[in-house]
Homo-oligomer: A and B are copies of this chain.
Amino acid sequence: MVAHRAYGRGILSSFFSDLLGTLFDRNLLRSSGDDGRAIEAICAELISVHGEVTGVKDATAVLSRYHGMNEAEKTAFFDYLTEMLDVDSDAIAAAVEAYREEPDRANYSKLMQVSEPLRQELLRRLNQVPGATAALVQMRVDLLRMLKDKPEYGRTDADFRHMFGSWFNRGFLVMRRISWETPANILEKIIQYEAVHAINDWDDLRGRMQPSDRRCYAFFHPVMPEEPLIFVEVALTRGIPNSIQMILKDKREVLAPHQANTAVFYSISNCQTGLKGISFGNSLIKQVAADLAAEMPQLKSFVTLSPVPGFGRWLESVSEDEAIGRIANAILKRSRQDLMDGVDAEEIRMLVARYLVEEKRKDGLPLDPVARFHLGNGAQLFDIHARADVSAKGVATARGAMVNYLYDLGEVAENHEAFVNEKKIVASKPVRQLVRALGKRGRELKSENA
């Protein structure tokens, strides 16, 4: 039976619906006129003492002006931000000296003030008109693109990132379920942003949103309500699946939620290039896991079904290896059909285990970026499957292999700590056995070679 909500919640609901009018207006930025002032002049006024009073007009003008700029004009604008609104080293040096001598509030405030570049204040003052936050996130997309040719923009980018880190603080994000009852304009973005297993069309999308054993969750920010920041697709299953084909196949028996014992995170995609470097994935996975656990207490396992994006490249790099080169070479030569048929399946599993457990970057962390993400979150490397993603992409990047990382909410803190402090990779017994088996095989091959 339904628990009835008090009026109060509704209030809040309604309260937030007003954000529509005040926080979010897609058209505003296009409508502002041009009063002939240079954008730099407007920026200068905006960060001056007048900025608090005349700010809305100026902020609108800057964002509107930027919206209409070509590449050269944008470059000039970012040059301005980078060079003219930088910190003043001398001022900082003087302020820190003063603070060292007399650490009172005045000196502290002065130090804080001069050590924050004007760019940051500019961002805050721009962000007072409806739609500004989204426009600034979009501005950073441009900035990141130009960064390759203009490394000095790195300083400006650092300020965008810092400011966004504060604005997109976890406490301000909202998790929402995405379903077949979600508005089409949002669903369209899910199609567009899906980065792991492409969604072909609306039927494919419906297949991932509508059945009772499929879920999708996203983070949103109140000022960008039509823009998911990150989303994760979940399958409710009996047992841990060993291939993405099982999850995505067209005709399959749909499970009633109460029959499921496992929640599989089979795709997680960041949506906003402009929020690069601000990490949402760890929070999202854990929030979804916690919520699903509360809703369906019968769920026993929370696992991913993850790609191994660096495996193919690594495999090529070891093709000359004395011990395992021959195995690697054999696998590299297999056709897609061979891989679908399961040829060399065990060898692939062993090599993936080796790749994930033993291959490291200079900093001692795993070579594979997906492994770094999940292990860094405190997950366990749980299982490895061959012929698990036999799409063209899956074969090209990982010879069809996929991996289950297990999120045991009772162990993530400990795993994470071991990973960070000791670079320890927590792997299940079967995975460790795969590594050992490969070692043994490698030694045999090596001695054969010798």
List the interface of chain A (C-beta within 8 A of B).
1-24, 49-50, 52-57, 86-87, 89, 92-93, 96-97, 99-100, 103-105, 108-109, 111-112, 115-116, 124, 127-130, 132-133, 151-152, 154-155, 157-159, 162-163, 165-167, 169-187, 201-202, 206, 209-210, 217, 220, 222-223, 225-226, 279, 282-283, 286-287, 290-291, 293-295, 376-378, 412-413, 416-417, 420
Write the nearest CB–CB distance from A70 to chain B, whole angstroms: 24
- For A163, list chain B residues within 8 Å (CB): 166
Q: Quick check: A108 and B16 within 8 Å, CB to CB?
A: no
Write the nearest CB–CB distance from A78 to chain B, whole angstroms: 14
- For A159, list chain B residues within 8 Å (CB): 112
Write the nearest CB–CB distance from A258 to chain B, whole angstroms: 13
Nearest to A99 among chain B residues (CB) is B89
Interface of A is mostly: helix
Q: Quick check: A4 and B181 within 8 Å, CB to CB?
A: no
Cα A104 to Cα B151 in complex, Å, equals: 8
Q: List 26 A-B contacts (CB under 8 A).
A: A1-B291, A3-B21, A3-B291, A4-B22, A4-B291, A5-B18, A6-B181, A11-B186, A12-B16, A12-B17, A12-B24, A13-B13, A16-B17, A17-B17, A22-B174, A50-B416, A52-B279, A55-B170, A89-B96, A89-B100, A92-B115, A93-B97, A109-B158, A124-B166, A127-B171, A128-B171
- For A89, list chain B residues within 8 Å (CB): 96, 99-100, 103
Cα A352 to Cα B375 in complex, Å, equals: 70
Q: Quick check: B127 and A170 within 8 Å, CB to CB?
A: yes
Cα A202 to Cα B163 in complex, Å, equals: 39
| Central interface residue in A11, A112, A116, A420, by most chain B CB within 10 Å | A11
The 8 Å CB contact of A16, one of B56, B93, B112, B225, is B225
Cα A437 to Cα B48 in complex, Å, equals: 38
Cα A53 to Cα B132 in complex, Å, equals: 30
Nearest to A220 among chain B residues (CB) is B15
Known: A53-B378, A187-B184. A4 touches B21 (CB 8 A): yes
Write the nearest CB–CB distance from A234 to chain B, whole angstroms: 12
Q: Quick check: B295 and A3 within 8 Å, CB to CB?
A: yes
Write the nearest CB–CB distance from A83 to chain B, whole angstroms: 10
- For A185, list chain B residues within 8 Å (CB): 8, 180-181, 210
- For A291, list chain B residues within 8 Å (CB): 1-4
The 8 Å CB contact of A12, one of B15, B20, B420, is B20
Q: Quick check: B127 and A181 within 8 Å, CB to CB?
A: no
Given contacts A2-B21, A22-B173, 5 further A-B contacts (CB under 8 A): A5-B14, A9-B20, A13-B13, A49-B420, A129-B171
Write the nearest CB–CB distance from A427 to chain B, whole angstroms: 18
Known: A4-B217, A165-B124, A183-B7. A18 touches B176 (CB 8 A): yes
The 8 Å CB contact of A115, one of B2, B56, B115, B416, is B115
Nearest to A14 among chain B residues (CB) is B10
Q: Quick check: B23 and A124 within 8 Å, CB to CB?
A: no
- For A187, list chain B residues within 8 Å (CB): 184
Cα A298 to Cα B267 in complex, Å, equals: 40
Write the nearest CB–CB distance from A27 to chain B, whole angstroms: 10
Write the nearest CB–CB distance from A406 to chain B, whole angstroms: 16
| Central interface residue in A22, A182, A223, A378, by most chain B CB within 10 Å | A22
Cα A17 to Cα B2 in complex, Å, equals: 12
The 8 Å CB contact of A11, one of B14, B100, B109, B201, is B14
